[in-house]
Structure formats: C-alpha cells, structure tokens
Chain A
Amino acid sequence: MQETLACSPHAHNSMTVRRIMLNVCLALLPCTAWGIYSYGLPALLMLLTTVFAAVATEAFCLKLLKQPLTRLQDSSAVLTGWLLALSLPPWAPWWIAVVGGFFAIAIGKQIYGGIGQNLFNPAMLARVALLISFPLQMTTWPLPTFVSGYSPGIFESFGIIFGNTALPDGVTGPTILGNFNTEASLGTSATDFFASSFSLKDSFFGTTPGSLGETSALLVLLGGIWLIVSRVITWHIPVIMTLSAGVPALLLSLFLPEKFLGFNFHVFSGGLLFGAFFIATDLVTSPASKVGQIIYAFGCGFIDFIIRVWAGFPEGIGFSVLFMNALTPLIDLYCRPKIYGRNLNRQPMKKNLV
C-alpha cells in the first residue's frame, strides 16, 4: 500500500506547468481568431508553420539532449511558437516563420538548458532577430481583408506564404506607429496626425494593419483579463507596464502637443497591450518577487515608450522586454521579500519585549 518515501505536503492545488501554458493559449484565442478573420488563410498558414517549427525544434533538441520527449507535453513550445506568430506580420513568408520558430526554441531556450533556464523571452528574441535580419519582410503589413477587399483564395494563400506570389498593389500599408514616424520626419505635427490618421475605435477593435495578434486592443484585453482571473498572472506587470508607457505619453502630449502623441495612441496601438499581458508576464524571464515585478514592468513600459518616440524603430516592445529580461537576475537578487523576524538588511531583529 505504501510508496517509498514521500515528503510533505500531501496536498497540491493541482496547477501544472502544462495547465498554465494551455491557459495562456486559451487567452490567446480571441485575438488569434480575430487576426485570422482579418488576414485570411495566409495568416493561419503562417501561424501553423511557426508553431510547427517551434515544436519540431523542441522535439529535436530534447532528442539531442537525451531528455524524455514527454517534456513536450508541457506545451511551452506550442505557446512560444504561437506568441511569436502573433507578433509577426500576418503574411510573413514561410521561411521567416521557420527561422523564427527554430531561433526561438533552439537559441532562445534550449541553448540555456531548456525550460526555466532561459534568460530572454524566446518569442521576443526570435522576433527581434528576425526584425534585424529581415527588415523588409518584417515590416510588410497587409491591410485587413475587409479593408483592402483582397481576400486570397487557397492557392493564392499558399503562394503568399510558401511561394513567391507578389502581393497586388494597395493591399499593404504602414502600421500607425510606423506611419507617424514617417509623417513626423516630413514635418507633420502630432496634433494634425492625431486628428487625421488615428482612430481610437479602429485601434481598439483592430481594423488597422499590424502584427497578427496585436491589432485589437479589446480582444487582447479580454485574453489578459482571463489570465488574471484564472490566476496565471497577477495584475501588477500588465497594469504598471501600460501605465509607465502611457503616463509619460500623456504628460508629454499635454505640454508639447505638436510633437508627442497621447495616452490613447501609445496604449492602444502597436504591441504594448499584447506585450504587457502576454510577453512581459512570461514566468521564466520575469522577476519572482512583487517588488521586482514592479520595477521590471516599469522598465518594460518606459523603455518601450522611449524607443517609440526617439529611436529608429517604430515599435520597441521586443527590445524593452529583452533589455529588462537581461536585468531580471539582478532585480531578483536585490528585490527579495522581507524575511519574517529579520530586518531589511536580513539581520535578525532585536529582541525587545513589546
């Protein structure tokens, strides 16, 4: 009747890594579904290719490292591939998807020693690597099919992703963030741009061009709230990260409205919300303690804002998250909780009769 040696506790809340990962996948469903609806079959093909590449790489690495293939069951590779796909341009060619999936798993995760050991968020690492290596493909944004009126059929879809089918004119356009950077360099004031080109409704519901899963702020929020409700993440990282990009934007736009765009623009366009709920909250690469998470989230949001406003890239989530990932071990080292019965210097408290 007895097993060998079992240590207490003899109870568990029955949460597993696999369940966490699947919960995140579930939370990704609304914005994924919207992305596929917006960008049609090619987007679905791209998503599947990325996920397949990620899982295949994971299996290959596990084999190479002589680890049980049952480790695949934790679904972390599926999630990594999925997250990467959602942050790519929806009609990215197959080799972008494959290189990305491979890079995310092999270089982003397994090279560090597998799950739990990686320093950087694998999906963001792959995205940034792709962005630097293939800037053209990574900034070709198709318009949603219901905007451009061009919805590719099955053969065309395969052609776009796996072949060399050239896109017809007028089906691509800039993202709103990229658009502003161009306009600003031409001398358009932020006020004019805001009035002419930005629509909160479009950004909120997701009818502007952008990465596969990032366009609709509403659906990203929906998934994010599910994550908080199902206790996979806490509110700290997403809320603080959003505010630390949004509040500086708000303040600057109040004082210099001609040069800076405001809160709504920065929060609801681009990948900020997606990054705040799904990328920065990655368990492995974010700090473990609450205080650490707050510092980390602030860094992610604020650096993203700086990159958007002053740097050459229109979007900075990938860079800001990777930068803060690099600081995470340091943050973890210094932001430890206060130990019961010890003061903040971790020395035993003084005995005094209260």
Chain B
Amino acid sequence: MVAPIVVLYLMGLILGFLLAYAAKVFKVESNPIVKEVEEMLPNTHCGQCGFAGCGAAAEAIVDGKADPTCCPPGGNGLAVKLAEKLGISLQLGDDAENIPAFAIINSDLCTGCTRCSKVCPTDAIVGANKQIHGVIRKACTGCTACETACPEDCITMQPDPTTVATWTWPQPSAA
C-alpha cells in the first residue's frame, strides 16, 4: 500500500522538476508567431486598426489585445485565416461594418499639394504637384490616411456600391 504511493509521489516530483527545468532551458525569447502574423497582414502600415503599423498590430493580435477582424484592408478573408492560424474562434462582424470603401477627391477643392499621395501606403493617388489628383480605385484600400492628410478637406470616403458584377445572392432565410 505504502510503496506505490511513495513511488507515484516521487515520480510526480521528479517529472515536475524536469518540466520546470526544461521550461527554463528551452525558453523561446520572442514569439515566432508574431512574425508569421505580420507577414500575413497587408504591411501597408495604414493604421486603420489603431496600432502603429502592421508589426504592432500583429503583436496585439497574437496577444489577444486586438481582434483578427481589426484589419479592414484584409477583410473577412484575412480574419478567417488569422483566426485559423491562432486557433481562436471568430466573431465576424456585420457586413455593414466591413463595406469596402475608397477615397474620392473633390476636384473643385483640390489644390494639387501632393500631401495625400505622399501618405498613401499603396500609391493609389496619382497626380503631380499643382495638378488635380485622382484615385486609382483598384489600389485604394480605404485606409483614410489621405483624408486626414488633406489640408483642403476635399477627400471623402465612399462605400463601394454593389453592382451587377459584384452582387451575390443573400443567404436563404428559410429553415
């Protein structure tokens, strides 16, 4: 009766110490997953997530301080992938929040100062000095960096409207 108790107790003790030792010796300094997550992000450092650049965002996402859905340019597709990578469940927001938007420059007000094109992370704004600028819709991620940079307040964000080409069937409501 006594012998097995002692043996099991000792075994537990020894293995416990072994584990503690292993944890100290094989400690990994930085979390490698942060780097992987950073690579998955768009790396435009647009700041729409509220963090300083994609690196900070990756750290926050891995630490659980930010949701995988926090990256608007990445959209739901990226969120799903991130959630899969980190093994967390995902609360996909309403589509209403995720409507992709793009910037529009009011050509009446634009003075051609090029400030917007300088801050654009994806070079989506074209136009030389003193020329009215235009937005390449395909490249615009709707990050609003230009909106804040514009001294004339002539940039507004417009939601991408649904067209015949982009329309898809809604989910059936029935059973």
B-binding residues in A (CB < 8 A): 5, 7
Instruction: Give the residue name and chain of the B residue nearest to A7 (CB).
Output: B169
| Minimum CB–CB distance for A214 against chain B, Å | 35
**B170 contacts the other chain (CB 8 A):** yes
Chain B, interface size category, equals under 10
A-B contact pairs, 3 of them (CB 8 A): A5-B170, A7-B169, A7-B172
What 3 A-B pairs have minimum CB-CB distances, sorted nearest first? A7-B169, A5-B170, A7-B172
B164 to chain A, nearest CB (A): 15
- Hey, what's the 0/1 contact readout for B84-95 against A, CB within 8 Å counting as 1? 000000000000
- Complex interface residues of chain B between 122 and 175 (CB less than 8 A to chain A): 169-170, 172
Q: Cβ of A7: which chain B residues have Cβ within 8 Å of it?
A: 169, 172
**Nearest-CB residue, chain A, relative to B169:** A7
Distance to closest chain A CB from B133 (angstroms): 40
Q: Which residue of B lies closest to A5 (CB)?
A: B170
Nearest CB of chain B from residue A69's CB, rounded to whole Å: 15
Q: How far is the CA of A53 from the CA of B170 in the complex (A)?
A: 41
Docked CA distance A5–B172 (Å): 10
Shortest Cβ distance from residue B169 to the other chain A in the assembled complex, whole angstroms? 7
Rounded to whole Å, the gap between the CB of B12 and the closest CB of chain A is 40
Q: How far is the CA of A7 from the CA of B170 in the complex (A)?
A: 10
Residues of B within 8 A of A5 (CB): 170
| Chain B nearest Cβ from A13, distance in angstroms | 18
A57 → chain B closest CB, angstroms: 21
The distance in angstroms between the C-alpha atoms of A140 and B34, with both chains bound, is 71
Which A residues lie within 8 Å of B170 (CB)?
A: 5
Q: How far is the CA of A5 from the CA of B171 in the complex (A)?
A: 11
CB contacts under 8 Å to A, within B47-89, are none
Kindly state the separation between the CA atoms of A225 and B156 in the bound complex, as whole angstroms: 71
In the bound assembly, the distance between CA atoms of A22 and B169 in angstroms comes to 35
Residues of A near B169 (CB, < 8 A) are 7
- Complex CA gap A7/B169 in Å reads 9
List residues of B (101-137) whose CB comes within 8 Å of A's CBs.
Answer: none
> Nearest Cβ in chain A — how far from B167, in angstroms?
11
User: CA of A234 to CA of B170 in the docked complex: distance in angstroms?
Assistant: 35
Which residue of chain B has its CB nearest to the CB of A67? B175
Q: How far is the CA of A5 from the CA of B169 in the complex (A)?
A: 9
Give the shortest distance, in Å, between B11 (CB) and chain A (any CB).
41
Q: How far is the CA of A316 from the CA of B68 in the complex (A)?
A: 54
B170 to chain A, nearest CB (A): 7
Of residues 16 to 70 in B, which have CB atoms within 8 Å of A's CB atoms? none
- CB nearest to A71 among chain B residues: B175
Q: How far is the CB of A267 from chain B (nearest CB, A)?
A: 40
Q: List the A side residues contacting B172 at CB < 8 Å.
A: 7
Which chain A residue has the least Cβ–Cβ distance from B172?
A7
When chains A and B are docked, how far (Å) is the Cα of A228 from the Cα of B45?
A: 66
A121 CB to closest chain B CB, in angstroms?
Answer: 22
With both chains docked as a complex, state the minimum distance between the C-beta of A112 and any C-beta of chain B, in angstroms. 16
B173 → A minimal CB distance (Å): 10
- Chain B min CB distance to A234 (Å): 26
Chain B residue with the shortest CB-CB distance to A116: B175
CB distance from A70 to the nearest CB of B (A): 12
> In the complex, A45 Cα to B172 Cα: how many Å?
44
In the docked arrangement, what's the CA distance between A7 and B172, Å? Answer: 9
Tell me, in angstroms, the Cα distance from A5 to B170 when the chains sit together: 9
In Å, the complex CA distance between A72 and B172 comes to 23
